[in-house]
Structure 1
Amino acid sequence: MLKVDESLLNTSKGMVGEALESAILSLTPSGGFHHDIFGALLPIETILVSKTRAQNLLFSVAKKYWGNIDLFLHSTLHETAIDLESANDRLAAFFSTQAGKKAVWDYITIHNRLEFDNLIALVFGKEIKLSKSRSVGGLRKLYLYQVGNKYFLHTVLNDTYKFWDILFIKKIYSLFMQTPLDNIHNANELIKHFKSLLEIHLTLNQSVIITNHLIAFIDQENIRSYHLKELHLYNLISHFNGGKRHFRKVDSLIEEIVASWGKGKWALSEKEYTLLSYIRAITASEHNDASSVIEYGSYLITNDRLINHAIELFLEYSDVLPHLKPEPDTLVKRYDKNYLEQIFYVLIDALVQNSKYHEVVELLKQHEIASCASLYAYFNREHSDQNAIFKIEATVQRDIAYIVDNSPQHVVQSIEIWLQNYPDEQSRYFEIALMTSKHLCNILKSLFVTQHYELFEKLIEVYKKYLVIDAHFSDLRDFVSAHVNS
């Protein structure tokens, strides 16, 4: 470990809180320095090392804790296909060569972290998965980030692991407070790790506040750059996922981002505008701002923007878009588990609120995922296909069977269980039924106004048999009555 790690461990006796704060402040002759964002800062020169020093420390720590298959490691690896008889010989050979040292270095400089299963993959060429809560040989993880021509290395040991976690938070905080942003490689990943560690040891609310203050400080101290824009976007995401209090600030944060990054060298890309539009659409839906949902939802589905940028957005912002596999064949489901189904769900709801019923029907005709395959097929059927309308009920029955029994083999029994349980708010089926009911009622309103009576009658028959939510059905009945009498 680094000298500063050993010093802080001994001085604080492995304790966090005031003990660690005092230990950090004692590192400098003047009594240390402190900032309101997250307390005491470690002097930057104590946490950065040269490349050679980083390589030697990294390799020696990995070898010390993971370089020998002891009884514990033997039991850990027993169920793998690794030849345990020769395992120690292979580990010893790996750690004794420059090729082994290079392999470890190359891996951690790409991934910024090294765990035991990563090392095993390097040595034996076999993937193994260990519980994230398990520590092997007393060492949990090694972290490495490049900072200019130096390196930021941190070790997390199993003993007093909370101390090592909090110390890592302190180090990251100290690094960002004292280092130009452009010098920190993978700064966005490092700030994400900072917040994820805060969430483990503090509340979600505290983690959002501290991260927000740190990014605000970084913003003040650094010139405009792509990395700074990334941090602004991450701060937005942090608020978006940070609970009601922080969710309310999302709109103003987006306005600031567009004002700051709408033009110029680091101007927002279409991918980033797609991200902002998705967040705006969902936020507007939460605020019952139907006009804004229509504006941003329409932007997202026009030219398949959301689909086209989905993979990039998943890779870079996986904590924003719900990304369970879409189910276009399914009508009865949670529409908020897939980003595209979610957007069509809120967009159709907003269109109905604004009496744009013909536009809803056009969406149903053009996009299978706006409802389900059987409804889409009905709108796009050949006139000779008399069975299209009956496939809708079969779809609902199959959906229910899969939800209840994960199989289409026991449809009748599954439907009985569904009907008995879905109205109960404590049931695992209730949220599915609630979302499906709301979506179907919006579709039914649109079908009625646009005079698609045959489909309306069949769909309302299916709805009343399997999916009625009293409040939704009452509203639908009043809507139809008002429309007839108007």
Structure 2
Amino acid sequence: MLLDCDEQLFMTYKHNGEKGAEKLLSKWLEAESDSPADPKILGTALSPNLFLVNEETAMNIAFSTARKYWGRVTIDMQTFFNKYGLDTKFVNERLNAFFYTQKGKETFFEQLFAQHTMDLERLIWLIFGKRMQITMPVNELQTIFLYKFENEYLVHMIYKEDTHFWHWLFMKKVYSLFIHKPLEQFTFIHEMMGHVEQSTRNTCGHVNNFVDNYKKTLDKCITYVDNYNSTCLAKKQLHLYQIVTHYRLSEGDYSCVKALITSFEADWRYSMYALTEKEKALIAYLQFHIAHKEKIPETVIYYGEYLLEDERLNNYAIEILLEYKELLPNRKPTPPAIIKNYELNFLENLYAVLLDHYVKMERYQEGLQLLKEHVLASNKKIHAALVQNNYSNEQFIAIEASVQQDIALHVNNSLQHIGLSVEEWRQHYRQPETPYSLVAQSASLHMLNILKVLFVTEQYELFEKLMEIYKKYLLIDDHFEKLRVFISAYV
């Protein structure tokens, strides 16, 4: 079920391409006598009257489209369901019970309204209560988007056929809403803009300098919106999205991000929409990593300590992740492990980076305090030894056993045959082409920082045991040479 404007644009696009669709939009614009000036940042805008619909129409469009494409079992889908032991009769009964009842329709719309997007994987979870951990079959209907603007809705489908067009049209609709609608009507800006970025990549990702072009276009749109809208919560959210996007796409140059942050903090500090604690934590997280990449230890330590104080980052991490999924590396933390890639979890990475800069600034007592206060700064066994002053042989055996378990999990994802896994690791972890190399590099650098802190703060018993473990399981020649030089300077 297509809106009239979607159908006309699609047919024009099929025959005359994107240029033809733009010409049709220009004709429509000329016919709009009361249309505001169009800045043409992304070509010609559409009048929202052409594609915004009321709730009942939005519900009918979304549900009937989903039923048409997802309400029957194709051969590919049945093959997929067979892998989970679900036969055709059972699947069809569940689909019919969902797609041909008022309750199913209401449940579908509630989920779509809450999540703003629906695809086949989400639908299967909704109907069957299962998260399918295998690749979903390709379906003609890929995604349904839904966003509310006061009492009207933007409902838009992405189809497999001519997917470039449907992504282009989604971008065009959202752009048109920014041009024509007051910003106060926008909700979930970060999520909508994330979908716009996905569609932009699908449409223009092949273009040279895509990243620069996307950032420039985004900045132009936001500047235009700023000039035509008063201060509101949505404006603040839009600027936060701009900052995070420039950070993610910075490619090593953070001057623009830092300028945006400075301007943002000045603009909103005394506003009625002043920064929340979550937003302060988000900005501090960006500044922490910018300082790390620009090698400014004092700033790294300042923001690292701020994020750890009162567990700020940990407390707001889930909210930040919900809004900016790609910003925080979110592999499950592993407190028992010392051998791991510290870049894969935002908290483990925070501790590793902060400890590294304590060492760089020769603030070893603060490094020791970090190790004593936070188990993720080392691992459970090392942390216990430090906190309890337990340097018994049994404790050292337990530390080494935990390292062997780390290795076994990396090699075989199993604690069976630990000896064989350790041997496999020791033979190959120094080889750059192996899957162990990144883990070993990250763990080695962090372990050496722990060793430096322990040595300078005279925790000699633990230092000697960890040094023995390091040489046995994690030694990387150039890293170890730097440690040797470091220790020589103190002897």
Q: 1:110 corresponds to which letter in structure 2?
A: A
Alignment of 1:275-354 (within 5 A): 275-354=282-361
Alignment of 1:60-459 (within 5 A): 60-66=64-70, 68=72, 84-85=88-89, 98-116=102-120, 126-127=129-130, 129=132, 131=135, 134-135=138-139, 138-203=140-205, 205=211, 206-244=213-251, 247-381=254-388, 385-459=392-466
- Equivalence for 2:13: 12
Aligned-residue offset at 1:79: 5.5
Matched length:
481
- Equivalence for 1:482: 489
Distance 1:481 1:34, change over 3 A: same
Aligned-residue offset at 1:16: 4.6
Q: 1:457 corresponds to which letter in structure 2?
A: E
CA contact 2:167–2:200 (8 Å) conserved in 1: no
Distance 1:28 1:342, change over 3 A: same
Q: 1:300 corresponds to which letter in structure 2?
A: L
| 2:57 is equivalent to residue 50 of structure 1 | no
CA contact 2:184–2:233 (8 Å) conserved in 1: no
SS of residue in 2 equivalent to 1:13 = helix
Match of 2:469 among 449, 462, 468: 462
Distance 1:326 1:37, change over 3 A: same
Aligned-residue offset at 1:353: 0.8
Aligned-residue offset at 1:398: 2.2
- Equivalence for 2:42: 38
Distance 1:16 1:185, change over 3 A: farther
Once the two structures are overlaid, the 10-residue window that deviates more, 248-257 or 326-335, is 248-257
Q: 2:430 corresponds to which letter in structure 1?
A: P
1: CA distance between counterparts of 2:55 and 2:405? 60
Distance 1:14 1:173, change over 3 A: farther
Question: Structure 1 length normalisation: TM-score?
Answer: 0.89
2: CA distance between counterparts of 1:79 and 1:421? 36
2: CA distance between counterparts of 1:178 and 1:342? 43
2: CA distance between counterparts of 1:120 and 1:400? 37
Q: 1:44 corresponds to which letter in structure 2?
A: P
Question: Any idea what the Cα deviations from partners look like across 1:112-143, whole Å, max 9, x if unmatched?
Answer: 23445655666x555475855611xx433332
Distance 1:103 1:202, change over 3 A: same
CA contact 1:188–1:227 (8 Å) conserved in 2: no
CA contact 1:14–1:163 (8 Å) conserved in 2: no
| Aligned CA-pair RMSD | 2.9
2: CA distance between counterparts of 1:120 and 1:411? 39
Aligned-residue offset at 1:453: 1.9
CA contact 1:16–1:166 (8 Å) conserved in 2: no
CA contact 2:121–2:136 (8 Å) conserved in 1: no
2: CA distance between counterparts of 1:97 and 1:401? 51
Question: Any idea what the Cα deviations from partners look like across 1:5-36, whole Å, max 9, x if unmatched?
Answer: 11111222166542332332232336997645
Distance 1:199 1:247, change over 3 A: farther
Q: 2:181 corresponds to which letter in structure 1?
A: T
SS of residue in 2 equivalent to 1:145 = strand
- Structure 2: which 5+ residue stretches go unaligned? none
Distance 1:307 1:7, change over 3 A: same
Question: Structure 2 length normalisation: TM-score?
Answer: 0.88
Question: Any idea what the Cα deviations from partners look like across 1:273-303, whole Å, max 9, x if unmatched?
Answer: 1111111111111111100010000111122
Distance 1:300 1:286, change over 3 A: same
Distance 1:30 1:369, change over 3 A: same
2: CA distance between counterparts of 1:57 and 1:383? 66
2: CA distance between counterparts of 1:389 and 1:94? 58
2: CA distance between counterparts of 1:193 and 1:474? 48
SS of residue in 1 equivalent to 2:242 = helix
2: CA distance between counterparts of 1:418 and 1:384? 27
CA contact 2:81–2:87 (8 Å) conserved in 1: no
SS of residue in 2 equivalent to 1:40 = coil
SS of residue in 1 equivalent to 2:29 = coil
2: CA distance between counterparts of 1:451 and 1:70? 68
Q: 1:105 corresponds to which letter in structure 2?
A: F
Once the two structures are overlaid, the 10-residue window that deviates more, 433-442 or 328-337, is 433-442
Question: Any idea what the Cα deviations from partners look like across 1:362-397, whole Å, max 9, x if unmatched?
Answer: 111221111111211111236584422333322222
CA contact 2:62–2:144 (8 Å) conserved in 1: yes
Q: 1:369 corresponds to which letter in structure 2?
A: L
Q: 2:20 corresponds to which letter in structure 1?
A: A
SS of residue in 1 equivalent to 2:145 = strand
